Amino acid sequence: MPQDNNTDTAIHKPLDEELQGQIYFDQNKVQSKAKSFYVESYGCAMNFADSEVVASILSKEGYTPTKELDNADLVFINTCSIREKAEETIKRRVFIFNKQKRKNPNLVIGILGCMAERLKSKWLDEDKLIDLVVGPDAYRDLPSLISNVQHGHKGINVLLSREETYADIEPLRLDNNSISAYISIMRGCDNMCSFCVVPFTRGRERSRNPYTIVAEAQDVFDRGYKEVLLLGQNVDSFKWQNPEDKTNTSFAQLLEMVARIHPTLRIRFSTSHPKDITDDVLYTIAKYKNICKHIHLPVQSGNSRILSLMKRTYDRPWFEERVNKIKEIIPNCSISSDIITGFCTETEEDHQDTLDVIKWANFSTSFMYFYSERPGTLAARKYEDDVPLETKKRRLAEVIKVQHAISLATNESNIGKVFEVLIDGDSKRSDQEFIGRTTQNIKVIFPKKEHINKGDYVHVKITSANSQTQRGIIVE
């Protein structure tokens, strides 16, 4: 994640294979009289981007970020409801925050994001663990809600909006990476997949004015960032209509607008939906070198019957046609995916279809989970969660094994090849090495070289690989 031109930075705290938290803070010592806030974010990239919107709103109220829980006047946790394990992790963090509140009774504890919307007032009224509940569309209301709490009242706003995009709020870049910036291009989702809570926690789709997106991308480029990640639950359905002349801007057109800012500004995006990704998008990616040659295309299952139960609105042949078209138009494009094992009624034969589609598509990597029933979804209301947990976990292990073998083979096939790499910074294991990513979103680790710095583009020859990363050396 990105960072403003001040001393803000971030700690990445891995939690498990499904979830990662991030703590935002100010490296400077917090003045004793200064108001400060502490935020942890979990789940998808949209939550991390939303935390930067929250930080911007709070900064205008005189608050600064802190890494020290002991120094905080406000403590927020930006939540994820996509899986049960995510919610369990967040609950554990809330209990820890409450221990701090016993030391500092004036501490305000708030729940933001998707879990806030789903649970609404439960933690306020029943469990009395928190003071503030704010849904993804209500962050503008934070100052008044905080004031209510400080005057002895509870604060809650989880109303969903059909218009809110926060387009006029400049996010406060909170990571010290200074290389990559998140830019939210749309909010909400209309797909109503039977297993997913997002339409209920983030509302209906609405797209930002594309000119505000281009202006934000231009601004981060002018401040030295080298990459933007365009975010949406389903970026391919981006559609904005000019209220004056009624002309429409599609996602393909938006990609081109951002790509034209500067040829050295890399553009990534997430997430695509197999039913919506168009040939126009693919041709635009192929046309511009600075649009990264990587598409995250969640398949979820390789079986058409299961896809129908999931309400994915495509079948196996449709998905295969889209993958074939990607490989035809963008031959050097990598494809990653999402996989769910053990969905309702899934048989061993259905599971084998999923293993088969992973092998057939040759995914570079995948996010892989077993099915977790989420309250309020169509699947929870209408389908029986009838696959035993032990079976779900065994199938997931088989999916992981297949995917890791493919990732290893793909990475090893690149040994001897040369790739352009954008340097993200020091390798986690050694300050004598850099880590960066190729246009295909493959991590590469390589020894440092004189006069080469973070944010530079370099050409790296791959010398070895494992299933997660490649190693190499800088070449001229």
pLDDT in tens, 378-393: 999 999 999 999 999 9
Q: Which residues constitute the domain of residue 105? A: 8-157
Domain boundary (140, 157, 174) is at: 157
- Domain assignment of residue 43, yes or no: yes
Number of Cβ atoms within 10 Å of the Cβ of 406: 19
Q: Read off the amino acid at residue 375.
A: P
Q: Residue 129 has what pLDDT?
A: 82
Q: What is the pLDDT of residues 101-151, one digit of tens each?
A: 888 888 999 999 888 877 776 777 766 788 999 999 999 999 999 999 998
Does residue 445 fall inside a structural domain?
A: yes
Dihedral sign, CA of 71, 9, 46, 299? negative
Peptide bond into 271 cis (omega under 30): yes
Pick the more confident residue, 108 or 30. 108
CATH number, domain of 33, equals 3.40.50.12160
241: in domain: no
The overall average pLDDT reported for the chain is 90
- Residues near 238 by Cβ (< 8 Å), separated by ≥ 6? 185, 186, 207, 232, 249, 250, 251, 254
Choosing from 157, 173, 190, the residue where a domain stops is 157
Whole-number pLDDT of residue 127: 64
Residue type, 255: L
Is residue 174 within 8 A of residue 3, CB to CB? The reply is yes
d(CA 181, CA 49): 9
Residue 51 lies in a domain: yes
308: exposed, middle or buried (Cβ count in 10 Å: 0-12, 13-18, 19+): middle
What pLDDT sits at residue 12? 30
pLDDT surpassing 80 at residue 34: no
C-beta separation of 123 from 130 below 8 A: yes
Average the pLDDT over each of 175-184, 387-396, 466-475 and give the range with the smallest value: 175-184
Distances in Å between the Cα of 143 and the Cα atoms of 21, 26, 61, 130, 378 are 24, 20, 7, 17, 35
Nearest to 118 by CA among 74, 148, 161, 79: 79
403 pLDDT band (50/70/90 cuts)?
Answer: very high
Question: Of 157, 185, 212, which residue is a domain's last?
Answer: 157
- Has residue 25 got a pLDDT over 60? no
Is the pTM higher than 0.95?
Answer: no
Whether 358 has a pLDDT exceeding 90, the answer reads: yes
The structural domain count of the chain equals: 2
294 lies in a domain? no
